[in-house]
Amino acid sequence: MSATPTTTLFTPANLINGTWITEGDGTFNTVVDKYHGTELARIPHATEAQMEEAIAAAYASREVLRKMSAGERSTKLEALAALIAKHEEALANLIVQEGGKPIGYAKTEIARCITTVRTAAAEALRFSGEVVALDYGAGVGKTAVTKRFPIGVIAAITPFNFPLNLVLHKVAPAMAIGCPVVLKPAPQAPLSSFVLGLFMEEIGWPKGAFSVLICNVPVAEKLVKDERVAMLSFTGSDKVGWHLKNICGKKKVALELGGNASVIVDEGVDLAATAKSVAMGANLYAGQTCISTQRIYVVKNVFTQFRDLLVKEFNALKAGDPSDATVTVGPIIDKTHFQRISTWVEEAVNGGAQVLAGGKPVNANRNVYAATLLTGTKNTMKVSCAEVFGPVTIIEEVADFNEAIACVNDSTYGLQAGVFTPSIAHMKVAHNELEVGGIIMNNVPGFRIDSMPYGGIKDSGLGREGVKYAMEEMSEPRLLVY
């Protein structure tokens, strides 16, 4: 049975090959308001046959997209950006509800969505190959050029924490280069993705070239394993990401995984301003971003002063209802993760760590945990070596800048790091020695502009996002020599 999309912002059905389907395997994914706990929608879990239909439709649509000019793809992307802008306020409110994201940060996400799509519209027009230098040796008199072609169907699997912008970091580059997408959004916050499905219909994106389905793990693994899928683009936990890479076969893979991002605080910086920036970078959206500040290393001569300033900033942060514009720390995404965070803090304290701020729930019924600052930790504690994905941060003293570098690198992760220093020499050392995908100078590691190359090393993943860089991942060069 199919359903006609309603006039509400989202449709509680799976979009498969241009049709909204309200029936699935008989089970449902219930989406709740993350602060109030009220039901927002029930989405049917797609069947294996429905996933087969989505994959087959995407595979068949490759030829339609191949014939679409760069100008037409760009025009449709501009139309998509305009639709997002038109519904900006409603989308931000939806993200507050389904993701528990504070309203100010939700509005920032929608603004970033518009930037992401408009950047893709521009890249669609200028993305190209290169002239290859061959005019020497056996290549004298020859000319060589490359042209980039879309790789084919993209399987996109996305997380809850940026329920629209991280979807668009996969969908918009795919549209710009001409790749069909089958999207499986996060079950905790999928509603923004269904809004995107309605928008794709409205702009006239080819039927079958974009499907969005909620499904159980075996059906999702069918998508990952299918040989008609040319690339898996996954953002989520490192455990799930590496598992999917192991089972996906010969296809290309881009993994944006976890992290326990660090900040280094050197001598000579404005300690008060740095403390304010770091406190926000550690606790915005209750620390539920993979580049949220989790580990802070401060050189000995300024440690005590910075620590005291940071404690003050942590204690000043407001926690509670994400619809309140003054709230920074909203609810944890669900009870399971709320309880895990509480357990990890308790384990650290029982192991000798000291609580400088927070360290307890603010409202256990609403899954709100206090902005928490710990010191005296060991690098074997989960709050240090694992990804907390919550409002928990450690701060430790180091002898000098070089020891800080070593502490940052003593991790299985390597996504981004923030370095606060006035020293050009130390900036160069950081760039040369830090084992991360990005170093953010005099700012927190959570800084991200949607056009920049973004990704990590070690357990933080492989490949790069950022519109142009994702387009490179989703295309392949074809050489012509004459």
Among the listed residues 78, 169, 162, the one whose alpha carbon sits nearest the alpha carbon of residue 468: 169
Token pair listed for 136: 């020497």
* φ, ψ of residue 348 in degrees (nearest 5): -65, -45
Among the listed residues 452, 406, 415, 178, the one whose alpha carbon sits nearest the alpha carbon of residue 297: 406
Encode burial over 55-92: b for 16+ CB neighbours within 10 A, e otherwise: bebbbbbbeebeebebeebbbbbbbbbebbeebeeebb
Token pair listed for 150: 């879309």
Rounded to whole angstroms, how far apart are CA atoms 361 and 53? 45
Q: Does the annotation count 290 as an active-site position? A: yes
| Number of C-beta neighbours around residue 405 at 10 A | 23
Q: Does the annotation count 202 as an active-site position? A: no
How much is the CA Rg of the chain, to the nearest whole Å? 23
Which residue in 113, 215, 248, 290 is the catalytic one? 290
Helix axes 191-203, 70-86, angle to 10 degrees: 130
Among the listed residues 114, 203, 215, 217, the one whose alpha carbon sits nearest the alpha carbon of residue 164: 114
Encode burial over 284-304: b for 16+ CB neighbours within 10 A, e otherwise: bbbbbbbbbbbbbbbbeebbe
Which residue in 256, 396, 472, 473 is the catalytic one? 256
Token pair listed for 129: 């190959």
- Please check whether residue 188 is in contact with residue 157, taking contact to mean a CB–CB distance below 8 angstroms: no
- Please check whether residue 256 is in contact with residue 461, taking contact to mean a CB–CB distance below 8 angstroms: yes
* φ, ψ of residue 253 in degrees (nearest 5): -140, 135
Token pair listed for 204: 């006239």
Rounded to whole angstroms, how far apart are CA atoms 283 and 382? 18
Catalytic positions, written as ranges:
256, 290
